[in-house]
Structure 1
Amino acid sequence: MVIVFVLLALAVLVTANVYLWRRLFRDTTSGPGRVRRAGAVLIAGGWILAVAALVGERTGAPFWLQRTLAWPGFLWMALSVYLLLALLAGEAVRPLLRRFLRKRAAADTPVARPEPETVPAGAPAPRQPDPEDGAPPPPDPSRRLFVSRVVAGTAAAVAVGTVGQGTYGVLRGPRVKRVTVPLARLPRRAHGYRIAVVSDIHLGPVLGRGFAQRVVDTINATQPDLIAVVGDLVDGSVKDLGPAAAPLAGLKAREGSFFVTGNHEYFSGAEQWVEEVRRLGLDPLENARTELPWFDLAGVNDIAGESEGHGPDFARALDDRDTTRACVLMAHQPVQIHDAVRHGVDLQLSGHTHGGQLWPGSLLAAAANPTVAGLERYGDTQLYVSRGAGAWGPPTRVGAPSDITVVELASTDA
């Protein structure tokens, strides 16, 4: 099944890129030449860089090489998506534009009036030409070329603009979002308690120390009571990314900063990163719970940790607690909500989905997660999913802006 899936995915990828080459380069040129060859090199080379960037990140290639490959490779990945979508949308416009040009050309062409033909007496009248006779005139090559160039040029402009705007949105840093969550078991004295929730920062070969500092500054500006870092902090080793993560030591909250692993930590050396965030002043909750003055805060490892024998253990984190107290759970993936419901958690804080990151990726994210973004209720448990602060792969977001969420807890007795 894995081989079949890989072959199917490869066939789809090749077909899509052949289509891109035809519409962008073959159909916009009058014959074989340098432009068509350059287009083939551009598309093939872009995907070679993209695959190399993914492989380099996963295999721990030298960090300088990862950084060299990441920018062009990942940006080409995003650009290809929107070139394909824009060109597919252009298929609906193409016949309309051709029809418009034909009508305009017909209107601009003067109608020649033929001289009357002299017919000898007694001869039959000449047959008038029937417009329905014969095949329609062949399409004008220059008109077809013009339409192809207009559609391709417009698609390229839309794709570049979309990716450019989406990349700028990531690099400028996340915006603050505020959500109020009422908890039945929260005491009145804790009404208005603020938790700054940040997930999916994804420090790596693209987003580095400067980005981490912007995230820290944004969080500190909200003056939270507590900071919850809900996984996928990094894409790389402590050796390569320790300096990039150093600004996290500057996080400030009255009751401290807490951390749980995400699936990407297990691609990057989770044990080393747990020790590193502890050194930076964050408190890792590895299937553990801490009793704060007004509620319990618990955290579970990510599901990806099961492959290393360090998966989530809800019983260890949540059993034997005082069930009269409210409980907030940090768990990277929204699918962990079902275990949270069974253990009587009041609120689960998650990330992982990126809100889909690149539209229409939200449709795929919705198929794999109970909640893609925002606040929803599951029985007596509420789930809040952040879209995340950074981005994985392409440093680009479309239709899913990055955020840091200030969750304000509200007592129903207030």
Structure 2
Amino acid sequence: MVNKAGCFFAACLLLVLSGCGRKVETPSSQAPISSAASEEVLSSRSNPQSSQGPLSTESEVKGTIQSEWGNIPVINLNFYDELCLSISETGDLLYVDPNETLVVHNLNTGKETHIASTKGPTNITYGCINDNWVVWKQNLGEDSMADPNCEIYAYNRKSNKTNRIFKTAMDQNGNPISGNQPTPSLKDDRVLLDHVTQVDADKNYTIETYEYDLKTGHKKTIAQQFAVPKFGETGVFGLCKDESSNPELNYSVINKLKGSQKKPCMKQGVRIYDYATDGCDSVMYVSQSFQTGASPKETLLLMDLHLVENGVETLVRKEKPDYSNMGYSWPCLSKRIALWRYGQKAIAFDRLLRRTVDLSPGEIDFTSGFFTNNHYLCWSHMSRESIQADKDETDLLSIIRIDDLPTKAEHAVSAGTS
């Protein structure tokens, strides 16, 4: 199963920041549902079912993995047609099973809790989790890559209640507003969302970014023209259009918002495909550029990987112009690990040891999703049996505990490259 949220990100981002869209009259219902109007959905969700599901301890295999870190422990789970979404700092894995049921799997006990089930032409494309909340985005159209119509829900893990906190607004013709599909960022009891409030006669978007308090249901606007917001430790990160560049280039700049002050994290604007933060003050982003190919009529799209730490920007990986591996994509960042996809494989960069680690060395692999936080590193991939049988699907989810990684270079083997 592919990472549906990652595939949709770039198209929406470039669309919103470039100001392309339709002229619409935005109804007053555009604003997300407030606490007074928030509705508890699907009453059956108020009593989530717990079980020993397909990812229970019976399917868990503990072993080791040989990599640039040396020989380290790894947990492998059978993971045939599930979509992994996120993992909490305390080991709660959030995933979608083949029946489009949202499930929380505890790595320590094997207990599973079913949070929500979708019905009809809907699918869950994004989710995040902490000890108090599960927040997810649910696309309402049959084609999640093309249909901007979505809803966002928040499940209170203490009260077992679910509220809808966002619904895509419709234009005067009853069509969902293009580009209006936010990706929530969760921290403590707060969620960041950006949404389109209007499109003017010149087809320029007005974007409003707000912080939603999940406990009270209240929201406050924190910025405008500040897209794809993500929490940092001392502020909020977001994308702003680079006004100093040629408007036709659609260049963007990652800014940090602290109070009412915005400060750029980059020296110059670029076409940004995707970006991630570590929850502190570092960011990683994928830039896009174009290069003439073998013939003057051929244009290659190159995607490079950048890491900004302590205000210093580093080009981590530059794509080769042969365009053979589809570039770098799906960046994910924690205090210890930078994680991305190259071609079809998951690649990690150890920020402490300054080493690149191929999570599937020497194998033809295929990853459908991965993520990292300050305690876990997870990625889906193909088993050796699937590789030998020439199957184009993932069937394993591997999990490494960050505490099991070496903390000194002499405890790891020589670094590899990708």
TM bracket (short chain): under 0.3
Relative to its length, the structure with more strand (as a share) is 2
Larger relative helix fraction: 1
TM-score by length of 1: 0.26
- Structure with bigger gyration radius: 1
Q: Which one scores higher on RCO, CA 8 angstroms, separation ≥ 6?
A: 1
